[in-house]
Amino acid sequence: MKYLWVVLGLLYAALNIYVGYVLVTAGMSARLAQKGLLLQAPPVLGGIALVVLALPLLWNCIRLATARTPDTRHRAA
C-alpha cells in the first residue's frame, strides 16, 4: 500500500514541477517581456515556488519507498 502512496506522491510532484516549468517559460516569453516586469514577475516567481515546494514531497516519497517497516507477524508474545 505504501508504494501506491509513493507513486501518487511522485506523480503529484512531477505535475507540480511541470506546471512550474510552464509558468516560468510563459513568464519569460516574448509576449510578456514586452508588457513589463509587473506582468512578467508573477508567473516566473510562482513557477519557481512550485518547483521548490515539490522538492520536499520528492524527498518524502523516496524516504517512504526505502523505509523498512517492522514485521509484526513474527513478534514475540
Q: Give the pLDDT confidence of 9-54 residue by residue, as tens digits.
A: 999 999 999 999 999 999 888 888 788 888 888 989 999 999 999 9
Domain count, the chain: 1
Q: How confident is the model at residue 8 (pLDDT cuts 50, 70, 90)?
A: very high
Return the pLDDT at 33.
79
**DSSP structure class, residue 29:** S
pLDDT greater than 60 at residue 77? no
Whether 72 is in a domain gets the answer: no
The Cα 9–Cα 66 span in angstroms is: 14
Whether 75 is in a domain gets the answer: no
Q: How confident is the model at residue 70 (pLDDT cuts 50, 70, 90)?
A: low
Whether 73 is in a domain gets the answer: no
Whether 31 is in a domain gets the answer: yes
Could you tell me where the DSSP H helices lie in the chain? 2-27, 30-35, 37-66
Positive/negative CA dihedral, 33, 39, 40, 43 = negative
Whether 70 is in a domain gets the answer: no
Q: How confident is the model at residue 59 (pLDDT cuts 50, 70, 90)?
A: very high
For residue 8, what are the domain limits?
2-65
Taking a C-beta distance cutoff of 8 angstroms, is the pair 24, 44 a contact? Answer: yes
